Amino acid sequence: MKTVIGIGNALTDMLVNLESDSVLTRFGLAKGSMSLVDETLQKEISKSVSGLPYTLSLGGSADNTIRAMARLGCKVGFIGKVGHDTTGDFFESALQNLGIEPFILRGKQRSGKCVSLVSPDGERTMVTHLGAAVEMAAEDIQPDMFRNYDCLYVEGYLVQDHNLIKNAVRTAKQAGLRIAIDLASFNVVEENRDFLRALVADYVDILFANEDEARVFTGEEEPLNALQAISEMCDLAVVKIGMRGALIKHQAEVLHVGIMAAAKRVDTTGAGDYYAAGFLSGMCEGLSLRQCGTIGAITAGKVIEVVGTTPGEEAWVEVANLVRRVRTEKYLF
């Protein structure tokens, strides 16, 4: 596989650095979760944290992955829906500036927004109003979108519309693409477990999950057992186990790949998205699973060192240098 197109919720991220977790308690938000809310509740939560430091950036899980892959030199595209507003214009032009082929649809609502509440320990809790993003529908998916690509990368958050996600993967499969999916959030998996299990069994080739998502998805408490269960449903399974790294299984090959130990954790927003970006970029180069896992660990390690999901130029130079060493097997975890 050489080229990847992503599909997901096109969002703008507002990242707020919390002084404590009291806001989460006040609004009944499970720490580390992603909750879909209406615009009114999102405004209430935003108002409650006004005055705290924040940053704005492009967001959305699949978009984070695709943008990172573009920075890693991959040929990529993105499918999403935004509003007829300046935020939507900004989103589309930002993709083009990164060399990403945009398939950006326009909806009736305002462009979607995700408020990421970053706890003092770096854990992020997301409160999302999808806006125009939720208007993306099954009939928006056209075969021509997949013409020049080898793999469709799907964010698990799209599961809010079963018809959309199923039509996207079915259409891509018919066009000859492999399907990769990230399960996104444990509460999303919990609410859609049966549907996701059927989707994975029928269409998915590559699955990324963290420890909590894998447990809910499979019912297995131990990550290694969850990895085995997932691998029986798709070709390549990746279970991320936090500070202990990741478990990878393809056919009879099982690997444990560590983390970038030198990374200084500031904000975990986008860590999973960037791991998938690094891993898939390695696959696009035809690298080994250990090399792919190591690049995933490098990109995840770099994004957690900044607030938000946009590392600076200096970070990308360091990533490029490390990836060159990975290619020659001089730097492996």
Token representation of residue 264? 């200084």
- Containing 76, the helix (H) or strand (E) segment is strand 75-83
- Measured distance CA(87)–CA(84) in Å, rounded: 8
Return the pLDDT at 124. 85
Return the pLDDT at 36. 87
Domains of the chain in start order, with CATH, are 3-10+59-110+134-327 (3.40.1190.20)
pTM attached to this predicted model = 0.89
Return the pLDDT at 284. 98
- Containing 106, the helix (H) or strand (E) segment is strand 101-107
Per-residue pLDDT in tens (0 to 9) along the chain, 333 residues: 999 999 999 998 888 999 999 999 999 999 988 898 998 999 899 999 999 988 878 888 999 999 999 999 999 999 999 999 988 998 999 999 999 999 999 999 989 988 999 999 988 898 999 899 999 999 999 999 999 999 999 999 999 899 999 999 999 999 999 999 999 889 999 999 999 999 999 999 999 999 999 999 999 999 999 999 999 999 999 999 999 999 999 999 999 999 987 788 887 878 999 999 999 999 999 999 999 999 999 999 999 988 778 899 999 999 999 999 999 988 888
Return the pLDDT at 261. 77
Q: Is 329 helix (H, G, I), strand (E, B) or coil?
A: coil
Return the pLDDT at 25. 96
Return the pLDDT at 206. 98
Q: What is the DSSP string of 155-217?
A: EGGGGGSHHHHHHHHHHHHHTT-EEEEE---HHHHHHTHHHHHHHHHHH-SEEEEEHHHHHHH
Return the pLDDT at 84. 95
Identity (one letter) of the amino acid at 169?
V
